[in-house]
Amino acid sequence: MSGHGDSRRSLASSVAGFSLVELMIALVLGLIVLAGVGSVFLANKQTYATNEALARVQDAVRTAHAFLGNEVRVAGYGGTCAIDGLPIRVLATSPAPDPDAFGIDATAGIAALVGSVAGAGERVGSIEVPEGSSLLTVRHFPVASDTIGPLAGRLDVTNANVQIRHNRPGFEKGDLAMITDCVQADVFRVTNRPGSPGSTTLAHASSGNADNALSREYGRDAFVFRMDDYRSTTFFVGRNPQGGQSLYQRINDRPAIELVRGVEDMRLGYHRAGGAADYERAVNGWSTADWAEVDGLRLELVLADAAGRRGVDGRPLSRSLTAVFALRNRMDQ
């Protein structure tokens, strides 16, 4: 009988299973493993989100760099003309072009590049500009060759209709147009319906202009273009509808366009040929002659992630950009 009792006790001990202590240890070890896996997952998620935010910021930096750089480099471009100070007579009426939006001044002519530092309460259109932020306006004639209409012949009298070789620029009745020979320029409103093939006539009758006579008899070296193809571009940082700040671009008299969100600040410095070696920022008192000497621009831009992502230090994720641009049309001056 004792032999059978020993075998039953041995069998019972072999199928008794885990003790409570062993189960608790196993649970603790499992929780530790799960916590480790979870922490790795969260770390990877945070790293991914941070990298994604950095990519957004860097993409915004590249966008801002491209838009500003492309315009600054061609500031003052006028084909064969030097547009700084080019005398302009504005004939167009019904309505007359906005001289501030287009930067066409009958007295001072055209300023290829001009900037300022915003004061308190300053606005561009309806958009508020933060105090101390920089504004930049760049002007140039059309760059694409098919936006230029060369004259087909010399104007015999100042009130003669303008004849151009082709209408590739797409002139239509009511368009604002500029004619220039690099000595003088006239801005007039087209009052006829120009044809499209071959030689094209552009009328500038007094029905759409203050006078039907141009300021001079332009020769075959003159050319005409639509003012919609002329560029007077203003870059500035403004308050966006979401309550943040964005980089805006305004072309001529059109509404401003939001280019990049999350721009905390934009500061510009200007290098003058023969001037100080460093880039100057205090420019609000500069004259037209001072701006005509600028041959380089330094851009300092601070951008934060528009989605509000913060870095490991708890601060908003941001990056700064410093870039230098040369004004190509003034490099040989």
Query: pLDDT confidence of 213, banded at 50, 70, 90?
Result: very high
| Higher-pLDDT residue of 109, 10 | 109
Residue 6: pLDDT above 90?
no
**Per-residue model confidence (pLDDT) at position 318:** 75
**Per-residue model confidence (pLDDT) at position 307:** 64
Interatomic CA distance for residues 139 and 150, integer angstroms: 21
Residue 1: pLDDT above 60?
no
Q: Cβ(154)–Cβ(222) under 8 Å?
A: no
| Higher-pLDDT residue of 315, 211 | 211
HSE-up of 8 (CA within 13 Å, CB side)? Answer: 5
Identify the CA nearest to 224 among candidates 155, 156, 140, 151. 151
**Per-residue model confidence (pLDDT) at position 156:** 83
**Per-residue model confidence (pLDDT) at position 13:** 53
**Per-residue model confidence (pLDDT) at position 104:** 83
Mean pLDDT across 223-244: 92
The residue behind tokens 């203050």 is 210
pLDDT tens per residue across span 246-302: 999 999 989 999 999 888 888 999 998 877 678 888 888 888 888 888 999 999 988
Kindly state the tokens that stand for 256. Answer: 């401003």
Phi-psi region of 327 (alpha: psi -120 to 50; beta: other; left: phi over 0): beta
**Per-residue model confidence (pLDDT) at position 50:** 67
Residue 185: pLDDT above 60?
yes
pTM: 0.80
**Per-residue model confidence (pLDDT) at position 24:** 80
pLDDT tens per residue across span 56-86: 777 888 888 899 999 999 998 988 888 888 8
**Per-residue model confidence (pLDDT) at position 14:** 55
**Residue 160: φ, ψ to 5°:** -70, 150
Kindly state the tokens that stand for 312. Answer: 């490991």
**Per-residue model confidence (pLDDT) at position 297:** 92
Q: How many helices (H) and strands (E) does the chain have?
A: 4, 21
Over the chain, what is the mean pLDDT? 84
**Per-residue model confidence (pLDDT) at position 105:** 76
C-alpha distances out from residue 120 to 72, 175, 260, 301, 303, Å? 26, 37, 23, 20, 22
CB atoms within 10 A of CB 181: 17
Beta-carbon contacts of 288 under 8 Å, excluding residues fewer than 6 positions away, are 85, 108, 111
**Per-residue model confidence (pLDDT) at position 12:** 52
**Per-residue model confidence (pLDDT) at position 59:** 82
Q: Cβ(222)–Cβ(188) under 8 Å?
A: no
Q: Which of 74-83, 96-105, 214-223, 301-310 has the highest mean pLDDT?
A: 214-223
